[in-house]
Structure 1
Amino acid sequence: MKKNSLKLIFTGPIKRLDAFISSRHEEFSREFSKKLIADGLALVNGEKYKPSYILKEGDQVEICLPERADTPFEFEKLVLFEDESLLAVAKPAGLCVHPTDSNWERTPQASLLREETLVSLLFSARPELAALPRLGLVHRLDRDTSGVMLVAKNETARMALSVQFRDRLAKKRYLAAVSGRPLKDTGIIDAPIGRASGFKKIKVWEYGRDAITEYTVKEKAKKHTLLDISPHTGRTNQIRIHLSYIGHPVIGDKLYGGESAARMLLHSAKITFSHPDTGKSKTISAPVPPEFKKAWAKVKKEE
Structure 2
Amino acid sequence: MREFVVPESANGFRIDLFLTQSCDGYSRSQIRDAVQNDGAEVDGRIIRPSYKVKAGQKVRFRVPPPASDDTVPENIPLDILYEDDGLVVINKPAGMVVHPARGNWTGTLTSALAFRFQSLSDVGGPTRPGIVHRLDRDTSGVIVVAKNNAVHLNLAAQWHDRLVQKEYTAITFGRLDRDRDWIHASIGRHPYQRDKQAIREGHATSKTASTFYEVVERHGRVTRVDVRPKTGRTHQIRVHLAHIGCPILCDRLYGGHSELSRSQIRRLAGTEVATPGVKPTPEGEEILLSRQALHAKALTFTNPQTGKEMTLTAPLPPDLQAVLDLLSSDSSL
Separation (CA, whole Å) in 2 of partners of 1:287 and 1:233: 23
SS in 2 for 1:142: coil
> 1:177-192 alignment to 2 at 5 Å?
177-192=171-186
The equivalent of 2:87 in structure 1 is 86
Q: Cα RMSD (Å) of the superposition? A: 2.8
Alignment check: 8 A CA contact 1:263 1:292 kept? no
* Structure 2: 5+ residue stretches without partners: 1-21, 31-65, 260-288
The equivalent of 2:219 in structure 1 is 221
Identity among equivalent positions (%) equals 39
Residue identity in the other structure for 1:165? W
Residue identity in the other structure for 2:308? K
The equivalent of 1:202 in structure 2 is 197
Separation (CA, whole Å) in 1 of partners of 2:325 and 2:96: 23
| TM-score, scaled relative to structure 2 | 0.65
- Out of 245, 256, 277, the residue aligned to residue 305 of structure 2 is 277
Aligned-residue offset at 1:129: 1.6
Alignment check: 8 A CA contact 1:263 1:295 kept? no
> 1:2-151 alignment to 2 at 5 Å?
23=26, 67-68=73-74, 73-75=76-78, 78-103=79-104, 110=105, 115-129=106-120, 131=122, 133=124, 134-151=128-145
Please give the per-residue CA displacement for 1:200-249, whole angstroms capped at 9, x wherever unaligned: 22111112100000000001101200000000100000000000000000
Alignment check: 8 A CA contact 1:123 1:130 kept? no
Please give the per-residue CA displacement for 1:130-183, whole angstroms capped at 9, x wherever unaligned: 655331211000000000000111111111100000111111000000002300
The equivalent of 1:30 in structure 2 is none
SS in 1 for 2:129: helix
SS in 1 for 2:119: helix
1:293 aligns with 2:321: yes
92-101 or 167-176: bigger deviation:
92-101
Change (3 A) 1:276 1:130: closer
* Structure 1: 5+ residue stretches without partners: 1-11, 28-54, 56-62, 104-109
Runs of 4+ in 1 over 6 A off after TM superposition: 24-27, 300-303
Higher normalized helix content (fraction of residues): 1
Alignment check: 8 A CA contact 1:94 1:144 kept? yes
Question: Larger C-alpha radius of gyration, 1 or 2?
Answer: 2
